[in-house]
Amino acid sequence: MNHLTRKIPISETDLSQTGNARRQALSLAAIMEFDDLRQGQLAIIVTEAARNVAAHGGGGEILLSPWRQGNISGIDMHALDKGRGIRDIASALEDGFSTAGTPGNGLGAMSRLAGCFHIYSTPMHGTAVFARVLRTAHDMESELPAYGVSAIVLPYPGETVCGDAWSVDRAPGRSVYIVADGLGHGAAAAEAAQEAIRVFHLTASDSPTQILSEIHGALGKTRGAAVSVAEVLHDERVVNYAGAGNIVAAVASVRKTKNLVSMNGTVGHSVAKIQQFAYSWEEESALIMHSDGLATRWNVEQYPGLASRHPALTAGVLFRDFCRHRDDATILVSRI
């Protein structure tokens, strides 16, 4: 399945874009074989979200990200704007508050229909709404791993494939994450990134340095990539990290952000040294990894309380505020 995010711009004045967002959501749901009930729920959620972005956010964007974890799959929706924000979220969740007269009656209905629903909003700095719809009524949010992960993967404008890729491998007490950014964009970049993911899954039980070394050997036949691997040992509260190239990684908590060190080079061609570093973390921390499709000047501490919220909100807010929109862009956020 293609896990690329679909981005639908939402204008304050062009209401036809709300219909486009709904059609895109239903198209994606059909590809993923959502049952009729879940398709209807997704349609209401996306329609309400798009109308809120237009009416109250001054325009923005809807992101639709398909995913699969084990036997469970679904679509994650982000509704992102830079509008005036929501001062009283509790009141906004009452039916009729935000979009009175629209199908579903606003944020309250969205929160009931979604399998997972979260809002982050700051006055005069915009709102991020996250809603997850699972494929069938038999899929349960509670069956997903305790250490939630959220990712947004957007190809270079006009491309149908993405030169970025990510994945995660889980074992009891251990999660291993990878983000790969093939050089350039288009099919050749995607080939390099996907080869990195293939080798990752063959070697995920190894250390980050071993995984990265194996990927380095395999990518010689491609144009190469920037690749980073993070091993999270949950019980020990340790992240072991190895990277080469310009993947940005950090461990963020409500009090501070630790940037993780990558070495210079291009995996598959020229890497001076593959080295692993260990980092400890506090409670309520998140691992953040992204490609250079996002600017690096962000600081989670400038968003009060964001680091302790659902990882999808962190991914959405940083994407909204720092995506360059002129390259492949991937951001992965996981609670650790």
Q: How far apart are CA 249 and CA 288, in angstroms?
A: 5
Tell me the per-residue pLDDT of 2-22, one tens digit each, with 9 for 90 and over.
589 999 999 988 888 999 999
**Res. 253: pLDDT tops 80:** yes
- Statement to judge: residues 83 and 216 lie in one domain: no
- Statement to judge: residues 46 and 177 lie in one domain: no
Which ranges constitute the DSSP H helices of 172-278?
187-203, 208-218
CATH number of the domain within which 196 lies: 3.60.40.10
Domain count, the chain: 2
What is the DSSP track for 136-167? STT--GGGS-SS-EEEEEEPSTT-SS-SEEEE
The CA-atom distances, in angstroms, between 33 and each of 27, 29, 43, 75 are 10, 6, 14, 11
Q: Which of 120-129, 132-141, 152-161, 242-251 is least confident?
A: 132-141
- Statement to judge: residues 170 and 316 lie in one domain: yes
pTM: 0.92
Bridge partners of residue 165, in order along the sequence: 180
- Report yes or no on 1 lying in a domain: no
CATH number of the domain within which 136 lies: 3.30.565.10
The H-or-E segment that residue 3 falls in is none
Tell me the per-residue pLDDT of 78-130, one tens digit each, with 9 for 90 and over.
999 999 888 777 777 765 554 434 443 588 889 999 989 999 999 888 999 99
- Statement to judge: residues 20 and 137 lie in one domain: yes
Pairing of strands 248-252, 238-244: unpaired
- Statement to judge: residues 157 and 259 lie in one domain: yes
- Report yes or no on 21 lying in a domain: yes
- Report yes or no on 330 lying in a domain: yes
- Amino acid sitting at position 194: Q
Give Cα 46 to chain centroid, integer Å: 17
